[in-house]
Structure 1
Amino acid sequence: MPGTAVSSHAPRIRWHIVVFLAPAVLVYTAVMILPLFDTLRLALYDEVEGQRVFVGLENFRTLFGDPNWSRQFWNALANNFWFFLIHMAVQNPIGIALAAILSNPRLRFSGFYRSAIFIPTILSFVIVGFAWKLILSPIWGIAPGMLDAIGLKSLFAPWLGREETALTTLALISVWQFVGIPMMLIYAALLSIPDEILEAGECDGVTGFSAFWKIKLPLILPSIGIISILTFVANFNAFDLIYAAQGALAGPDFSSDILGTFLYRTFFGFQLQLGDPHMGSAIASAMFAVILIGVCLYLFGIQTRIRRYQL
């Protein structure tokens, strides 16, 4: 219509966002995305008479169909699940309990306690693995003497040298090293709870442990969910501690073998075993699939229920 000015503004491109994100995207693509796709590609090939030949899913058929390969894979996968379950059942509940205790404003020296619990997380896997191997050694370790001092020497056993206890012992060592991470995350979540909510609970007579169970715990469920999925991803990518303490063979008799050590031996070779990059890539692809399925189950299952619970 005459006299009516119609102004159309094209959406502006915010170049500053592109500029700031570009370095991170390029680095992440170079060190994560491209190697991931190259690993998936390598799993579809094999070496035949010195030539790289496309074989499709043949490496995966060998991994899951050949008795020798499948036995090792399912053993490593089962050990990985046990490693993860111990962290979920021991590490995270202890981290939540420590965070609840340390968030008490009446607790003295809470900063010192937080630092002391968190320090092991910054130690090298090699140092932790070697140190605990020395501590638990039945020959020169200090564990037998410490148990003897309190009258419990009869309970000592070469836990790292027994098939039935090696993996559980290593998982508990990992719990000792990383319990500070869930503790700090839950501690931060507890401090973010508004004081008005807690004061309202006190007016209704909800205090102490009852306040934590009925008020604080429901409010920190999203943080607990994030810690759970981080624990899942970290444990199914685990390698360093097992390798440092038990070596690439993950002894005794592969009882502490997990997907990470199985992948290492297959891809790079070990002792008289020659490396096979193509089968190693197939194992890495299977690891990626397991982690991806676990993350998707969390995002589309557990996280959705947590949001409904909050609403």
Structure 2
Amino acid sequence: MKTIRAWQLAVLLAPAVLIYALFSALPLLDTLRLGFYTANDAGVRSFVGLDNYRTILFDPDWSAAFWNAMWNNVKFFCIHMALQNPIGLLLATLFSLKGLRGARTYRTLIFLPTLLSVVIIGFIWQLILSPLWGVGEKLLGTVGLADWFAPWLGQESTALLTLSLISVWQYVGIPMMLIYAALLAVPEEVLEAAHAEGASAMRIFWQIKLPLIYPTLGLVTILTFVANFNAFDLIYSVKGALAGPNYASDLLGTYFYRTFFGYQAQIGSPTMGAAVATLMFLVILGGVGAYFVLVQRRLTRYAM
């Protein structure tokens, strides 16, 4: 077998490294740098160190909105962890059963919303849940639950939860397919041996299948975390940059948008926006780092 030389490996990797550096690494480094500056009315920038971060985290005019967005992001992530991933695991387990009729059709239908534009998804659900012309009340009325209908997207207490459920509905197909692929990779000989020893289907799932897919469940968890703390498009398409009502659905993504670009009475500041983006990056980096240190290292990787 011919050995690849160092220069050949460098030539092969050079295009990917160059593209990554130009469009990912350098913009990230420039954003980190910009967060240490401020600009006057003439656009002249001056170095201020950590002042922008102190303002965002501790100045009452800025910190209240930041911590509100952070707390909303935590709730947004927890709802996805409590609903999206368990439902994805349940569906994947169901579709992995042999002899299930129509499994391919159901998998396709469940995964289909993930391929649609978030703008389309947001517009459709706005129409469905509108108290003026939506069909949500009528649909609930067909099952005798019309009295339960409320303008969920327009209430502070329910706006974030409603948007989270819409997001769960759209993206549940991703963990479902990842876990489904992991379940298909479980060795058939192990399952047959368990059946021969008289193990029930439930016991096989909890004691054989589930431990074997722990690494995939960990991957799904970290992907959910990163995606949720980068969330912006659904909130913006449904509630706009103000993430109403009264910032009840505001996330770090929409907070960053208002800070960087400005919106209505708020004047945009690229340097303050860069500081917010850096804080978002540190939150995601901290979460991913904690996962790899506290969870990933403890996961037992089985030979499959």
Q: Of 121, 128, 136, which aligns to 2:129?
A: 136
In structure 1, what is the equivalent of residue 257 of structure 2? 264
Write out aligned runs for 1:268-287 (5 A).
268-287=261-280
| Distance of aligned partners of 1:204 and 1:12 in 2 relative to their CA distance in 1, 3 Å threshold | closer
Structure 2: gaps (5+ residues) = none
In structure 1, what is the equivalent of residue 100 of structure 2? 107
Matched, 1:34 2:26: yes
Q: Once the 2 structures are TM-superposed, how far is the Cα of residue 24 of structure 1 from its aligned partner?
A: 1.6
| AA in 1 matched with 2:212 | L
Q: Once the 2 structures are TM-superposed, how far is the Cα of residue 15 of structure 1 from its aligned partner?
A: 3.2
State the TM-score, normalized to the length of structure 1: 0.94
Matched, 1:253 2:226: no
How well do the aligned residues superpose, as a CA RMSD in angstroms? 1.4
* Bigger radius of gyration among the two: 1
Q: Of 206, 213, 231, which aligns to 1:213?
A: 206
Q: Once the 2 structures are TM-superposed, how far is the Cα of residue 226 of structure 1 from its aligned partner?
A: 0.4
Deviation larger for 52-61 or 40-49: 40-49
Q: Once the 2 structures are TM-superposed, how far is the Cα of residue 13 of structure 1 from its aligned partner?
A: 2.9
Q: Of 150, 154, 172, which aligns to 2:147?
A: 154
Deviation larger for 108-117 or 245-254: 108-117
Deviation larger for 242-251 or 48-57: 48-57
In structure 2, what is the equivalent of residue 95 of structure 1? 88
Q: Once the 2 structures are TM-superposed, how far is the Cα of residue 31 of structure 1 from its aligned partner?
A: 1.3
Q: Percent sequence identity over matched residues?
A: 58
Q: Once the 2 structures are TM-superposed, how far is the Cα of residue 49 of structure 1 from its aligned partner?
A: 4.8
Matched, 1:183 2:179: no
CA displacement, residues 126-168 of structure 1 (integer Å, 9 cap, x when unaligned): 0011110110001100100001111100111110000010001
Aligned residues: 300
Q: Once the 2 structures are TM-superposed, how far is the Cα of residue 19 of structure 1 from its aligned partner?
A: 2.4
Q: Once the 2 structures are TM-superposed, how far is the Cα of residue 253 of structure 1 from its aligned partner?
A: 0.1
Structure 1 residue matching 2:39: 3-state secondary structure: strand
Checking the alignment, whether the CA contact within 8 Å between 2:215 and 2:301 is kept in structure 1 is: no
In structure 2, what is the equivalent of residue 232 of structure 1? 225
Structure 1: gaps (5+ residues) = 1-10
| Distance of aligned partners of 1:160 and 1:12 in 2 relative to their CA distance in 1, 3 Å threshold | closer
CA displacement, residues 1-50 of structure 1 (integer Å, 9 cap, x when unaligned): xxxxxxxxxx9733333222222211111111111110011100001352
Structure 2 residue matching 1:53: 3-state secondary structure: strand
Matched, 1:44 2:36: yes
In structure 2, what is the equivalent of residue 165 of structure 1? 158
Q: Determine the C-alpha separation between the residues in 2 that align with 1:164 and 1:72.
A: 17
Deviation larger for 24-33 or 75-84: 24-33
Q: Determine the C-alpha separation between the residues in 1 that align with 2:51 and 2:239.
A: 32
Q: Once the 2 structures are TM-superposed, how far is the Cα of residue 309 of structure 1 from its aligned partner?
A: 9.5
In structure 2, what is the equivalent of residue 6 of structure 1? none
Write out aligned runs for 1:55-134 (5 A).
55-134=48-127
